[in-house]
Amino acid sequence: MNKNWVLSQECFDALLDWLDSDREQAGIKYEEVRRRLIKIFTGRGCAAAEDLADETINRVSSKLDDIEKEFTGDRARYFYGVANKVHLEYLRRKLPQPPPVPPDDSNLIEQSYSCLEKCIDRLTPENRELLLEYYKAEGRAKIEQRKLLADRLGIAPNALRIRAFRIRAELQECVEDCIERSLV
């Protein structure tokens, strides 16, 4: 797509006609697609979710002449497919974030550990045990440990990874909130 391409009124009208022959329904569908695209990009952690949603709509609009002839099915799904490509491009061009600067203040380090202990205590016993077991070993032993843990829980290794990631994200949020509250 030409980077300088802009959605004109004529192209927007054609897009609405493609979405639905009834102008009122087409507007409703357009708004729903845009809202859903923003939700998708936001859920994927994109800071510029609205811009990416607009980019997706622009791309679909720019290719509308080709799409109209070939595409059959739910029009919204076509937008979501294009959104996947836009998201992949976003990830490629997104600059890696620098690692957080380690705190130099020993009081802050002590506070961080204190908050970590409090937050670990707030986890359910099952989640606490899973997290501690998940991060227990190093190297090759780590791989074997995680396989055994997944088998013991009766879940796939990928499901275990996802579960551990979610628990760790919850723990990290708790620690950050605790540190923030203690600094105020």
Domain parsing of the chain, residue ranges: 9-93, 106-183
Most confident of 4-8, 19-23, 81-85: 81-85
Tell me the CATH number for domain 106-183: 1.10.10
**Phi, psi at 155, each rounded to 5°:** -130, 165
Question: What value does the mean pLDDT of the chain take?
Answer: 86
pLDDT at 85 over 70: yes
Instruction: For helices 125-134 and 106-122, give the axis angle rounded to 10 degrees.
Output: 120
Q: Name which of 55-69, 86-100, 118-132 the model is least confident about.
A: 86-100
CA atoms within 13 A on the CB side of 18: 27
Return the pLDDT at 108.
78
The DSSP line for 9-42 is: HHHHHHHHHHH-SSHHHHHHHHHHHHHHHHHHHH
pTM above 0.85, yes or no: no
Return the pLDDT at 100.
64
pLDDT at 181 over 90: no
106-163 pLDDT, tens per residue?
777 888 889 999 999 999 999 999 998 998 888 888 888 999 999 999 999 888 999 9
